[in-house]
Amino acid sequence: MNNRDQRIGLGEEIMGQGQLQGGLLWSYLGHGALVGPCDLESSMHNPAFMEYTSRVFGDVTVVVRDCPSWDLLDSDWASVRKVLEQADILVIKYSVTDKLAFQQVRNSYAPRLRPLLRHWGVPVILVAVGARLNDEGPPCTCPLCASDWSSCVPHSEGLQLSRDLGATYLELPSLNHVFVGRYFGSVLEYFMIQCLKHKAKERPEKRRGNKVNELCPPHLEQPARLPPIRVEESSFSQDMQWLLERGMQFADVAFYAGDSGKELGWAHAAVLCAVSPYFRQLLLGHKTRERDGGPQSLLSTWDGGIIDDMPRSEGHLTGRLSRLVVKDPLLCMCLWETLMFIYRGSVLPAHRAVLVARCDVMAAMFSGKYAEARSRVVPIHGVSSDTFLSFLEYLYTDSCCPASVLQAMAVLVCAEMYQVKRLQHLCEVCVCAYLQSMPSRELSSTGISVIRLLRRAKCHNAEQLYVWLLHFISNNYLIFSHKPDFLELSEEEREQVERLRWPSRGYLQELSEYQHRRRKLRKSRCIVM
């Protein structure tokens, strides 16, 4: 298949004027240029141009329309413009020793070409023929050379003309094969390659021929987006404010005015010691150092330390707290504990005031007429000590970070037992994040049963997690449908999964038909061969 590239050359050089063999493009194309039979007809319609063809890159046919003299363009500008509109590459050349012709090009023809070139977007090459190799060096001062300065085109004027036209500027000392092939030829070949790429994109057919009848694979749509898990806003500040204003029955520290003895307010020693090392030193004294030697909780983030000779007038230490007020330090300290949870010999100390402020179920347990309200030791049933410790971590720090999917589900069950909705939502987010981070290979080989997670989510009123898991099973239908526990889905759940499955049943059927046609087409091609 031949590709045709049209190229137009405008201008004249000092050598071979009026002769086709003396032109720049003819020098580049060499003996491959052939004068076609259409030259007589084209010269009658456009007498300013001489047309000939050549081959480049092996199979690319180049049509060249060459105008050897600028004066010929004035004969019929309308027909010249039609020829210029068909050009893919425009080459403008001038002789540096003919300054009058250059001024004619710059003043007369450049203003006409400039708006046309901007509109067409055709690449332009401006070539100065006869330029010295070192035009920027000091000129010769001999009388013979000095007499030619006024009639030569300087480098700066040619460069300015190329900028006005948006052209690539070249200077060639002569039209021998070295300068034409190495400098001009490399630039011209670059623009020819870009032109061929642009034409290849515009053609609807491909190199292998027409592919209208060729089979196209079915389109696979993206899986449906998983529903988001919404988490309630934190109420930690409001709970601590309630403890300060209405939790008077659990207060164990009173503040009085030093001069009048008037009562200023009540507070909780555990909270004060967690917030301020000053109150910790004030209320505990030497007990602080004795208790600090014990094992620290993994949740502890206090790095301020205790100074023995701390002046009380300052009111606080210069150390920094890495988390805000109560949170971690209150959970870490076993000081002033008013309650202990017992699970198979493990003791988990806690503060009754914090539990009442943070959990409505525990507020009813410890404030009413239940046995837990009068007892200092409360047994734990239904959950493990690690799970209950994570539950206490949330009550004290307002955050929860389970280490696995199973631990997150265990904390979710505990949160549903004590009616802490926000913790339940956080556990749902953790389960979704862990499952979504698993690659397909790990998801198919993991021992975690997503179907049983779905059952537990429905049993413990985790509605958001239940809906999310249904969509997750649907998006990974090819993985979960081959597992034995897939049959444990109810009829309603299976209908919903089949409706949302990805890839859909219709796509798999189209894919099977496409593969069958491809096999038949390959067999028929083999027979022809």
Q: How confident is the model at residue 318 (pLDDT cuts 50, 70, 90)?
A: very low
Q: Taking Cα atoms as reference points, which of 378, 384, 315 lies closest to residue 349? A: 378
Find which of 85-89, 118-122, 163-167, 520-524 is predicted with most confidence, using mean pLDDT: 163-167
Choices 3.40.50.720, 3.30.710.10, 3.40.50.10320, 3.40.50.2300: CATH for 236-399? 3.30.710.10
Q: How confident is the model at residue 392 (pLDDT cuts 50, 70, 90)?
A: very high
Residue 330: the pLDDT is 56
Residue partners of 3: CB distance under 8 A and separation at least 6: 59, 60, 61, 196, 199
User: Which of the pair, 427 or 343, is modelled with greater confidence?
Assistant: 427
Residue 127: the pLDDT is 86
Q: Report the pLDDT averaged over residues 131-140.
A: 54
Each residue of 89-127: pLDDT tens digit?
Answer: 888 888 888 888 888 888 888 888 888 777 777 888 888
Report in angstroms the alpha-carbon separations of 75 from 26, 72, 393, 422, 445.
24, 6, 94, 88, 83
70-74, 89-93, 505-509: lowest mean pLDDT where? 70-74
Q: Report the pLDDT averaged over residues 499-507.
A: 92
Q: Report the pLDDT averaged over residues 202-231.
A: 74
119-133, 273-287, 327-341, 352-366: lowest mean pLDDT where? 327-341
Q: Report the pLDDT averaged over residues 29-33.
A: 59
Q: How confident is the model at residue 316 (pLDDT cuts 50, 70, 90)?
A: very low
Measured CA to CA, the distance from residue 272 to residue 351 in angstroms comes to 13
Each residue of 447-459: pLDDT tens digit?
Answer: 899 999 999 999 9
Q: What are the tokens at 526?
A: 């083999």
Q: Taking Cα atoms as reference points, which of 284, 343, 277, 339 lies closest to residue 314? A: 277
Percent of the chain clearing pLDDT 90 (strictly above): 24
Report in angstroms the alpha-carbon separations of 22 from 12, 13, 35, 163, 179.
9, 8, 15, 27, 15
Q: Which residues pair with 9 in a beta bridge?
A: 66, 91
Residue partners of 464: CB distance under 8 A and separation at least 6: 227, 229, 230, 425, 428
Each residue of 396-434: pLDDT tens digit?
Answer: 889 988 999 999 999 999 999 999 999 999 999 999 999
CB 199 within 8 A of CB 4: no
* CATH number of the domain located at residue range(s) 3-137+148-202 in this protein: 3.40.50.300
Pairing status of strand 168-172 against strand 339-343? unpaired
E strands, 217-372, are 253-256, 263-267, 339-343, 346-350
Angle between helices 421-436 and 405-417 (to 10 degrees): 160
Q: How confident is the model at residue 324 (pLDDT cuts 50, 70, 90)?
A: very low
Mean pLDDT of the chain: 75
Residue 313, pLDDT above cutoff 60: no
CB 103 within 8 A of CB 153: no
Sign, Cα dihedral of 248, 253, 256, 261: positive
Q: Report the pLDDT averaged over residues 366-377.
A: 78
Residue partners of 241: CB distance under 8 A and separation at least 6: none
Sign, Cα dihedral of 472, 478, 482, 488: positive
Q: Report the pLDDT averaged over residues 290-315.
A: 36
Residue 24: the pLDDT is 72
Residue 465, pLDDT above cutoff 90: yes
Residue with tokens 């083999």: 526
User: Which of the pair, 239 or 320, is modelled with greater confidence?
Assistant: 239
Residue with tokens 């023809």: 109
Report in angstroms the alpha-carbon separations of 211 from 208, 404, 518.
8, 53, 14
Residue 427: the pLDDT is 96
Three-state DSSP state, 147: coil
The type of residue at 409 is M
What are the φ and ψ backbone dihedral angles of 63, each rounded to 5 degrees? -100, 120
- Domains of the chain, residue spans: 3-137+148-202, 236-399
For 402-420, b/e burial (b = at least 16 CB within 10 A) is beebebbbbbbbbbbebeb
Residue 390: the pLDDT is 92
Measured CA to CA, the distance from residue 187 to residue 193 in angstroms comes to 10
Measured CA to CA, the distance from residue 17 to residue 442 in angstroms comes to 78
Each residue of 37-49: pLDDT tens digit?
Answer: 444 344 445 566 7
Q: Report the pLDDT averaged over residues 476-482.
A: 93
Percent of the chain clearing pLDDT 70 (strictly above): 72
Residue with tokens 């708006």: 115
